[in-house]
């Protein structure tokens, strides 16, 4: 599967997405500079969110629409929050252009059919379904019908929700599916990350898998990489001082760069399953153990535990021969400190 010029899965590097979300704080120039900064961090892609308050909810302030429960946004209505957070649609064309100029892949999360239709104008390379939209089967069906890779966050999903979303994509003939392990808590406590779910998702649903992270820092993405995540998504902000709904759990340029480096270094360390030795390691085999003569001996002396030992370095016979050589006879005089070799041992008739 490819998203833009990046191949997802296999031995390919993680596809790292900088999530712009609301981190422009309503300022177009901040959005532009954030895209440029994302490129400097080493991210592969920048992701937008395409909605308006009216495509997500209604302007109502009764108890059903007011946010409560210990979130960062308590006291606001959904309509108020989305009015603060949305990316104006008239910005999209220019933001896609900036991303292209910077060499970043740019795509978005649509939140209704009109957003999909709007994004199709830009020939986006993929669609991302947000955690809270995983139950919106009509939206998933419509996005999947466009034949682009579908990335789905699973933050609020049950296994049944995930299975239905995957089956919906496949029913549209779209098998290019990436499921992101996600904890829909902002910020997400480390103890709720449950990163061992990542390989289980891969096995259970037979799709590519990744991680959408809301924890602080870069530890969780690095660990997710060791567990098979092939996509890493993290909220990115130009500078936390600008504030905004997502600022608290977003990474700034320095932090995001550290995360990218942590993921890339993790990939280097994981490498491939191999028992072949590198040239550097081969050179160091000379420091391995081998059999040495450890005291002066004469021709005819009996080989014993006193005059040969398995020691470093590795220029003598392999230690596996040690027991079989005991009680045999030296064929020549040998000085202490010489590596034991077969020509020092008398051949039996």
User: Looking at residue 28, what is its pLDDT?
Assistant: 97
- Select from 161, 155, 144 the least CA-distant residue to 182: 155
User: Looking at residue 234, what is its pLDDT?
Assistant: 96
Give the pLDDT band (50/70/90) at residue 89. very high
Instruction: Count Cβ atoms below 10 Å from residue 223 Cβ, excluding itself.
Output: 17
Per domain, the residue ranges of the chain are: 2-51+86-270, 279-344
What is the assigned CATH class of domain 279-344? alpha beta
Fold of 2-51+86-270: TIM Barrel (3.20.20)
- Select from 298, 291, 331 the least CA-distant residue to 312: 291
DSSP letters for 311-335: ESSS-SB-GGGHHHHTT-BBSS-B-
Query: Do 38 and 46 contact (CB within 8 A), yes or no?
Result: yes
pLDDT tens digits for range 280-313 = 898 898 999 999 999 999 999 999 999 999 999 9
User: Looking at residue 67, what is its pLDDT?
Assistant: 85
């Amino acid at each position: 599967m490819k998203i833009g010029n990046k191949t997802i899965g296999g031995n390919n590097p993680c596809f790292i997405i900088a999530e712009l979300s609301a981190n422009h704080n309503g300022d177009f120039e901040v959005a532009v500079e954030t895209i440029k900064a994302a490129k400097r961090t080493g991210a592969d892609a920048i992701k937008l969110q395409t909605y308006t308050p009216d495509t997500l909810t209604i302007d109502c302030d009764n108890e059903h629409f007011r946010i409560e429960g210990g979130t960062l946004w308590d006291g606001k209505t959904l309509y108020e929050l989305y009015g603060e957070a949305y990316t104006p649609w008239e910005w999209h064309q220019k933001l896609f252009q900036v991303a292209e100029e910077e060499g970043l892949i740019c795509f978005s999360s649509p939140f209704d059919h009109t957003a999909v239709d709007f994004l199709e104008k830009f020939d986006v390379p993929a669609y991302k379904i947000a955690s809270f939209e995983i139950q919106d089967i009509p939206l998933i069906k419509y996005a999947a019908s466009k034949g682009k890779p579908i990335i789905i966050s699973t933050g609020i999903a049950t296994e049944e929700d995930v299975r239905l979303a995957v089956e919906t994509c496949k029913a549209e003939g779209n098998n290019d599916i990436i499921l992101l392990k996600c904890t829909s808590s902002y910020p997400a406590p480390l103890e709720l990350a449950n990163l061992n779910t990542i390989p289980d998702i891969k096995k259970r649903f037979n799709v590519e898998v990744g991680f959408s992270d809301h924890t602080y820092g870069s530890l969780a993405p690095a660990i997710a990489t060791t567990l098979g995540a092939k996509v890493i998504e993290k909220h990115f902000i130009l500078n936390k001082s600008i504030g905004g709904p997502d600022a608290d759990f977003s990474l700034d340029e320095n932090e995001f760069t550290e995360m990218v480096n942590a993921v890339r270094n993790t990939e280097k360390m994981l490498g491939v399953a191999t028992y072949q030795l590198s040239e550097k390691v081969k050179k160091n085999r000379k420091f391995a153990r081998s059999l040495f003569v450890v005291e002066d001996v004469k021709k005819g002396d009996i080989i014993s535990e006193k005059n040969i030992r398995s020691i470093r370095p590795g220029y003598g016979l392999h230690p596996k021969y040690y027991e079989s050589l005991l009680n045999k006879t030296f064929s020549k005089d040998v000085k202490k400190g010489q590596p034991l070799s077969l020509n020092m041992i008398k051949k039996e008739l």
